[in-house]
Amino acid sequence: MLKIGSHTLDNNLILSPMAGITDRPFRQLCKQMGAGMTVSEMTASDPALRKHPRTQLKLDHKGETGIRSIQIVGTDPQQMAHAAFLNQKNGAQIIDINMGCPAKKVCNVAAGSALLRDEPRVKAILEAVVEATDIPVTLKYRTGWDPQNKNATTIAQIAEQAGISALALHGRTRECKYKGNAEYDTIKAVKQAVTIPVFANGDIDSVEKARFVLDYTGADGLLIGRAAQGRPWFFKEISHFLNHGEKMPALEINHIRKLVLDHIYDIHTFYGERMGVKIARKHIGWYFIRLSEELLPLVKKSHLLETADQQLKAVESIFNYHQKNQHTYNAA
């Protein structure tokens, strides 16, 4: 059984933290759909931002089941340590440190993957956070700053020595962002260089790819990010394939209909109608683009609606339109 510190995971498939996506409604849904653990979207360690309403929502785990892992981001070791301490006090069971985000607004302040250029600062942050908490601390990072400056193995060894409990490695440099192919050779090398659990991340978009990445890298588990957008049941599909060597039967369209409607309703409830309707739009788009590109004109029309009731009725009507000639969901 896979453990992170004292916590035993339900399986080795984790929902990757994604800014603006892995909120409480989506985390709960992915857990219901087979994720062994989920991680919150990144939260700023800067004290000036902690009271912002959006930050408070990111930290809302009320009623959430399973292990509560909170991701923090920042550049100052003491600020990061204090943020970790406060999150533990507020119920976090694992602290995840972000050194993987390639976004300009994060890297421009030397946070996220920009930290990979400053190994002494990486060491200072990791040691400070581990020292400040009594719970496991994990690190999510990339293979380096750019293809000419890869230091994933060095960072992994620094992390292990600092007391980090597990690593999640996205197989790309910061410069690559999400382009090109993930570097599974680098993930394999990191796994061989440390004794703590290593999770592979990047381009895992099919059950066959999941099996290949686990076998090739020797990773202890997988982080699933973009492939879960509009397809939260991907975790169940992977588990079924790994356990039985065959693909799970396609989900019935009525099952998907209820799942999507429940998810949109939970978003409205969590954020309130005004913000919830706006946030739900991207999820609606992801669900229906996987169903059929022919539905996109209807999806775009639904994005113009401004009330929760209108949005839910629009989602129902899109399903009705599609269900006239197709009864299974295209998971690809």
170 contacts 142 by C-beta, under 8 angstroms: yes
Longest dimension (CA), the chain: 60
Report the chain's terminal Cα–Cα distance, integer Å.
30
Active site residues per annotation? 101
Q: Which residues pair with 199 in a beta bridge?
A: 168, 221
Q: What is the CA radius of gyration of the chain?
A: 20
> What distance in Å separates the CA atoms of residue 139 and residue 119, rounded to the nearest whole number?
14
Contacts of 129 (CB under 8 A, 6+ apart): 72, 77, 80, 81, 84, 95, 97, 137
**Cα dihedral 9/14/16/17 (nearest 10):** -30
| Rounded (5°) CA angle 288-70-279 | 30
| Rounded (5°) CA angle 291-264-209 | 45
